[in-house]
Every structure is written in C-alpha cells, then in structure tokens.
A and B are shown apart, each in its own frame.
Chain A
Amino acid sequence: MKALVTGAANGLGRAMTDQLLDAGHEVWAVDRDTDALDALAIKSRGSCRVILADLANPSSVQRLMRDVKDVKFDLVILNAGISATGRFEEIPGAAYEKLIAINLTAPLVMASGLMRQDNMSSKSQMVFISSLSHAVGYPGASVYAATKDGLAIYAKSVRKPFKKRGVGVTAVFPGPIRTEHAERYSPKGSKANKRMLPEDMAKLVLKAAAKGKKELYAGKGAGAAKFFGKLAPNMMSKMMRKVIFDKLDSNTY
C-alpha cells in the first residue's frame, strides 16, 4: 500500500508513519522539520520517501503536488497542524494567517489537487485530522477551532462527490494527545497523563481508515464530549473556558 502523511515527522503523524512502515507499506512523509525527516529516512531504509515542504507557503504546496504527480495513493492522511493559544486580540495577525494556511488552506488545496491529478487509487481513503474542539469549542484558541471546524465540514461536504470517484473520506476528531504540540499549547501544569499516547491514537486512526469509517471521535472523554457538545454546546464551551482559557497565562503561537 502507498500512503501519504503530512506532518509526518512528529507527534501523531510520526506515530502513524511508523506504524505504516512497520506494517510494510510505502510512505511519502511530508514535513518541514528537516532533521526529523532525515532520521525517518535513515531508519526506514528507503521505504519512507521524505518530502520537505512548508505547508504555510502556497508555492511549497505546489511543488509537493508536482513531486507526487505520478504516484497512486491508497491512503492519504492530511494531519499537519499548528495552533495559537492565548487571548484572541493579543496574538499577531501574521500568526493567524499562518495558522489558517497550514490547518485549512493546505489540506483543502491538497485534497482537491490529489483528486484532480488522479493521485488516488480506485479504492482509497482520504483522512482529515480535525479536532475534538469541533464538538466542544475552544476558548483561547478560537482561530484554531475555526480551522478545525472548517476541515470537518469540508470532509463532510466532499464525502459524496469523492466517493463517486472511489475515494472514501474519514474525519477524525482526536481529543488531547501526549505530544509536544499539546504540551506547547496547553496551560502549564495540566496533566499529561490525561492525554492519550500518540501510538494509541495512531492505531485507532489507521483502523478507522482501513474500515472506511466516516468519522472517528477518539481519546479520553471524546465520546462524552461529543454527546454533551451536541446536547448543550453552550455549557460545553463554558466548561472549556474554565479548564483552558482561564488557566492560560501566556500567548503561544
């Protein structure tokens, strides 16, 4: 099987890439972290093709699309994402532009581009990594929440038209994962052991993709968050404010 993973060098993306390689698949790993990509290439002894790309940069995304022009993928996981946490009005506008470019514009451009270039095999799966914030809101990271809601609804919108061309679409809503990303953007002193290990989350995502599931809510408390988020969205946003926004003591972007 041939798979493409964005944000493959660290965190959840790395865990998924490792597991795909261990299972004997070929992986095209996209990231902007040169050192981590090198390590991945050496460790995999060639079964992992690394592509250095900065998804915040449209011309870098175009180059990436040209690089994979002739490959037929069975699995594409659009996973790369960053965040910006703190008081909305205090974070620089440039940080928001970059956040939207990486989390929303790049995956949309890649998804439609891969379809247009006929990059997807006739029985393939495209996976969009959204966030559990889709269910509960995220005061203190309102623009991150915006990009993840946008991604979730894009996945829902393209599900039928892509399916007609043999491409299944999975939207994933992961709860907190124990990664550097989560560490960086969370309030200080929040408990890491309340977050799922990236390896465990990776297993769930790959399983959901293999089964062609439409949606996956995964992680500690994800089921409850989804349920109460639908039932009482305002209450959940208030709770999110208490557990996150009120505890953030600095802006991180």
Chain B
Amino acid sequence: MLKSRNILITGATDGLGFELAKAYASRGHRVVATGRQLLTNDLDFFGSPNIAYIRADQSEPEAAARAIAQAMEKFEWGSIDLAILNAATGWTGHPADETPEQIDHQIAINLTAPVLIAKAIAPLLFAAQGQLAMIGSTAANGQAQFATYAATKAGLEGFVRSLREEWRNKTHVQIIHPGPTRTKMHAKAGLKTGMVRMFFMSTKRAVRAIQRSIRNRDGKRVLSRAYGWSSIFSSAKEGEL
C-alpha cells in the first residue's frame, strides 16, 4: 500500500483534470477536485470516495483562490503534497476578433487564478515540501489562431521558470505542456478539429505521461508523442506519487 497523499487538482470535472483525479484516487490518495459546475453528488460523479469536490469558478480568480483555501481548512489539510493547476479555457479565431471580454476571461482563468491559487496554498505546499505542477500547452510557443490562449500559457511558463528558482528547497515547481489531446477543449474553444483529431494524443496516454513527469520532478516537460508512448511503461512505485 502506498502512502496516502493530499492532492489538489483544479479543472477536474472534465478532460485531463477529471482523469488525473480518478487516477490518483484509485491509488489511495486523497484528492480535492475543483471545477465551476455545481455537483449534487460527488461520489456519483467521480465514482471514488477519495475525491472531494469544491466549486471554484476561476473567472473570479480572487474568489476561486479563497474558496480553495477555505476548503483546505474545512477538510483540515495541514499540507498539500501535490497541486496540479490544470483548469483552463480557450477561444479560437482571428486575434482582431477577440473581444475585451474574451481576452479578460481567458487571462483570469488561465493565468491570474493559478497565480492567486499558488499564493493561497503556498504555506500548505511548504509544510509538505510539496510539488506544484502547472498544466501549460504547446501553444505557449505562439499560435495565430489562439493568440490570447497562447499568451496565458506562455505567462504560466514565465511564472514557473521564475518561481521554481525562488521556491528552491521549499516546493518543486514545474510546468507540463500537453500537445493536442482528445479532450473536449477544442470543441469548447470553438475549433472544429475533424479528421485531424485522430492524430491527437489520447486522454488516457496524456494522463499517464503527466503522472510520469510529476514523479520525475521535471522542471519543464513537453508531452511529445515519444514521451506519451514510453509513458505506457511507467507506473508509481512504493512511496511514489
């Protein structure tokens, strides 16, 4: 039996966050999952008694960070071993057509909220000498069709690069950049992927690859196809996350 750890995962009602929450919970870890939905029954939704859900709408970054901090108190978590800040939203189209509201909404959810959440949980991460994993995107290198989304993900990368050095010996800070994955992200952002979707990484494989990168305590990891494939053979050993 592995040691049970405290794990926080944001954006966990769907896609990578949902699968990550279930994967960690299935190994006996305690998970607090966040999302903006109102769930009537956590157990039915996640199918695991190890997952507790709290509502934290990151379009209001301050309120979301506060909700998470309050939940930590409520669940009497004195420490967090691992926080995966995964929640994100996107908009796709010509950059001249992005309205102020769309720009503001993406920056709030993808950048401001993770920054404020990281700040809110810092004492708990320090208490465990824990690990903070940000989910970025390969779009962080620049993308004409989702310029603001790319900017927010690049922002996370800049944040992580600087904070990793600042928090050395207190909490390991890393960023993991998934490429296109077969989640609902693209459809939600208004992008039709069509046949190309076949070539995307499966959610299952991306979830394995993310867990592997977290175990390896990478600084920055791009989820390449090769890394995805080779992650099939990687699993948690005794005492690992």
Size range of the chain A interface in the assembly: 35 or more
Nearest Cβ in chain B — how far from A132, in angstroms? 12
Q: Which residue of B lies closest to A233 (CB)?
A: B161
Residue among A104, A148, A158 making CB contact with B147, cutoff 8 Å: A158
Q: Which residue of B lies closest to A245 (CB)?
A: B166
Contacts of B115 in A (CB 8 A): 96, 100, 143, 146
A150 pairs with B152, CB closer than 8 A: yes
A145 pairs with B162, CB closer than 8 A: yes
B190 an interface residue at 8 Å Cβ cutoff?
no
Contacts of B73 in A (CB 8 A): none
Within 8 A of B (CB), among A56-113: 58, 61-62, 87-89, 91, 93-94, 96-97, 100, 104-105, 108-109, 111-113
B96 pairs with A161, CB closer than 8 A: yes
B111 pairs with A146, CB closer than 8 A: yes
B103 pairs with A150, CB closer than 8 A: no
Residue among B94, B123, B148, B157 making CB contact with A149, cutoff 8 Å: B157
A104 pairs with B111, CB closer than 8 A: yes
Do A146 and B150 form a contact, CB below 8 Å, given A96-B115, A104-B107?
no
Nearest Cβ in chain B — how far from A21, in angstroms? 29
A96 pairs with B103, CB closer than 8 A: no
A148 pairs with B158, CB closer than 8 A: yes
A153 pairs with B150, CB closer than 8 A: yes
A160 pairs with B144, CB closer than 8 A: yes
B61 pairs with A115, CB closer than 8 A: no
Size range of the chain B interface in the assembly: 35 or more
Which of A176-184, A190-198, A235-243 participates in binding chain B?
A235-243
Contact with B along A127-159 (1 / 0, CB 8 A): 000000110011111110111111111101111
Cα–Cα distance between A111 and B96 once the two chains are bound (Å) = 8
Residue among B144, B156, B165 making CB contact with A139, cutoff 8 Å: B165
A165 an interface residue at 8 Å Cβ cutoff?
yes
Contacts of A116 in B (CB 8 A): 96-97
B163 an interface residue at 8 Å Cβ cutoff?
yes
A34 an interface residue at 8 Å Cβ cutoff?
no
Do A140 and B166 form a contact, CB below 8 Å, given A104-B107, A109-B104, A157-B95?
yes
B161 pairs with A157, CB closer than 8 A: no
Residue among A112, A134, A138, A233 making CB contact with B96, cutoff 8 Å: A112
B185 an interface residue at 8 Å Cβ cutoff?
no
B142 an interface residue at 8 Å Cβ cutoff?
yes
B165 pairs with A240, CB closer than 8 A: yes
A161 pairs with B154, CB closer than 8 A: no
Do A161 and B95 form a contact, CB below 8 Å, given A139-B162, A143-B159, A146-B155?
yes
A237 pairs with B100, CB closer than 8 A: no
A234 an interface residue at 8 Å Cβ cutoff?
yes
From B96, B119, B150, B162, residue with most partner A Cβ within 10 Å = B162
> Which 6 A-B pairs rank lowest in CB-CB distance, beginning with the nearest?
A149-B158, A153-B154, A150-B155, A115-B96, A142-B162, A156-B142
A to B CB contacts below 8 Å, 11 in the list: A88-B167, A91-B119, A100-B111, A104-B107, A112-B103, A145-B159, A146-B115, A154-B151, A165-B96, A237-B164, A245-B165
Interface residues of chain A, those whose CB is within 8 Å of chain B, are 58, 61-62, 87-89, 91, 93-94, 96-97, 100, 104-105, 108-109, 111-113, 115-116, 133-134, 137-143, 145-154, 156-162, 165, 233-234, 237-238, 240-241, 245
